[in-house]
Amino acid sequence: MTFDYLDVIGAGLIILDSEPFSFDYVPEQLVGRDEILREMALKFSPVITANGSGKAVLSGPVGTGKTSVAKRFCRDLQTKFEASRKIKYVHINCRNHSTPMQVLHKIVSVFDEGHPDRGLAMGELLSSIRKLARKDSTHVIVILDEVDRLLRKSGNDVIYQLLRIDEDQATSGTLSLIMISQEQVLDLLEGAVISRLGTSSLVKFSPYDLNQLYQIVEQRAKLTIKPGSYDEKILRLIAEGSEQYGDARRVIESLNNAVLKAESEGRSNLEMDDVQQASTQINPSMSEDIVKNLTTHQKLVSLAICRRLRKESNMTSKDVQGIYAAVCEEYMVKAKGQTTIWKIINDLEISGIISREVSNIENTRGRTTYISMPNVLPNDLATRLEMLIKAELR
């Protein structure tokens, strides 16, 4: 029996290292999060003292770097102050550990992997954490990721107990706490917990902008794939495809899917079609109703854009006007003026069919608008448009 179909695995036509494609991978430099890391440093400044601890609540949309910031911060803290204080951290995904006992057992395992995971009450586990930390002369930072899962299922009690772990003890500084949630997690917390956390512990994450998404995909490309297998236009198209979401995970997944598509076809370079097809796998496909409900001239402008973007990653708005005029002539329809075309382009962007980026023209004060289709396959959309236009103009 032959297994030729498995030859694509590990072919290495483009991929050098697949690890940085993982959502769990934390790069040395985090794009666009320097200010947040500084904010975290201020909140945890007491940690370098023998009895100090810190608290933070990281909140923001999916794919905005909350988990990466928490892990990077803890690793940097360990390294920076290893001579003055021994620090360990434990990352707990509350989707997988959604009960207080599961959370506490996970914390204990940082110090003692063989610690009994049955038959102990919450108080006994909290006492074990204190004793093990002091015996090891270690400060532990607990990261509760997707903490809303824990709060909704099990309430606030374990959070409250962790925050008061050193209460009535001779020493303090056993534990610091970082909670992560996509939603405004303070709304799920009881007053007693909020008073111990303090409202100043909240750290808000905003979606990434287009430039930051480009830097992220460029960073991952340099870490994962061979130089010369891609160009700046390809990476820009990937970033544009996720701009409306501001989600780093989408650009990483789009790059990964595009690379896998190219390798599966035996190619050693990325093409625009790889990116567009990868994007359609991640983003919701273009609704048939959206395309059907376009006006005739919106369809004609869309078709003009598709015809250019079959071979190019982007085009200018001036290009659209010229190709649109030729399409109108082909279908024997009187073309609309420049003002109407601009309005149509704006409507197409709102509908999600196209993406626009305004760039300064080098060595001038002028600006040019570039149009792309990061979430749509131009060939496929062109075929649908041609059928609809022909039906309308019969």
Q: Is the pLDDT assigned to residue 28 strictly greater than 60?
A: yes
Separation between Cα atoms, residue 105 and residue 110, nearest integer Å: 9
Per-residue model confidence (pLDDT) at position 308: 92
pLDDT band, residue 363 (cuts 50/70/90): low
Residue 330's SS3 state is: helix
* Helix ranges, the chain (H): 34-43, 66-80, 100-109, 122-135, 147-154, 157-163, 191-197, 210-224, 232-241, 248-264, 272-282, 288-292, 296-309, 317-330, 338-351, 378-392
Q: Which domains does the chain have, with CATH numbers?
A: 4-16+209-282 (1.10.8.60), 33-204 (3.40.50.300), 288-392 (1.10.10.10)
Q: Residues near 126 by Cβ (< 8 Å), separated by ≥ 6?
A: 104, 161, 162, 165
The single residue listed with the structure tokens 């430039």 is 211
pLDDT band, residue 1 (cuts 50/70/90): low
Q: Is the pLDDT assigned to residue 6 strictly greater than 70?
A: no
Stretch 222-249: mean pLDDT: 90
Q: Residues near 324 by Cβ (< 8 Å), separated by ≥ 6?
A: 300, 301, 304, 335, 341
Q: 57 - beta bridge partners? A: 179, 202
pLDDT band, residue 113 (cuts 50/70/90): confident
Q: Check if the beta carbon of residue 196 is closer than 8 Å to that of residue 164.
A: yes
Separation between Cα atoms, residue 212 and residue 207, nearest integer Å: 10
Q: Which two tokens mark 210?
A: 């287009």
Q: Is the pLDDT assigned to residue 182 strictly greater than 90?
A: no
Q: Is the pLDDT assigned to residue 171 strictly greater than 90?
A: no
Residue 355's SS3 state is: strand
pLDDT digits (tens, 9 = 90+) for 69-84: 999 999 999 999 988 8
The single residue listed with the structure tokens 């370079």 is 269
Q: 91 - beta bridge partners? A: 143
pLDDT digits (tens, 9 = 90+) for 253-289: 999 999 998 988 889 999 888 887 777 666 555 556 7
Query: What pTM did the predictor assign?
Result: 0.78
Q: Is the pLDDT assigned to residue 393 strictly greater than 60?
A: yes
Per-residue model confidence (pLDDT) at position 30: 96
The single residue listed with the structure tokens 């990937």 is 238
Per-residue model confidence (pLDDT) at position 7: 58
Per-residue model confidence (pLDDT) at position 198: 83
Among 292, 311, 312, which residue's Cα sits nearest to residue 353? 292
pLDDT digits (tens, 9 = 90+) for 303-335: 999 999 988 888 988 899 999 999 999 999 999
Q: How far is CA 265 from CA 19, 126, 329, in A?
A: 22, 55, 38
Q: Which two tokens mark 49?
A: 């003292």
Per-residue model confidence (pLDDT) at position 37: 97
Q: Is the pLDDT assigned to residue 376 strictly greater than 70?
A: yes
Per-residue model confidence (pLDDT) at position 288: 67
Per-residue model confidence (pLDDT) at position 314: 86
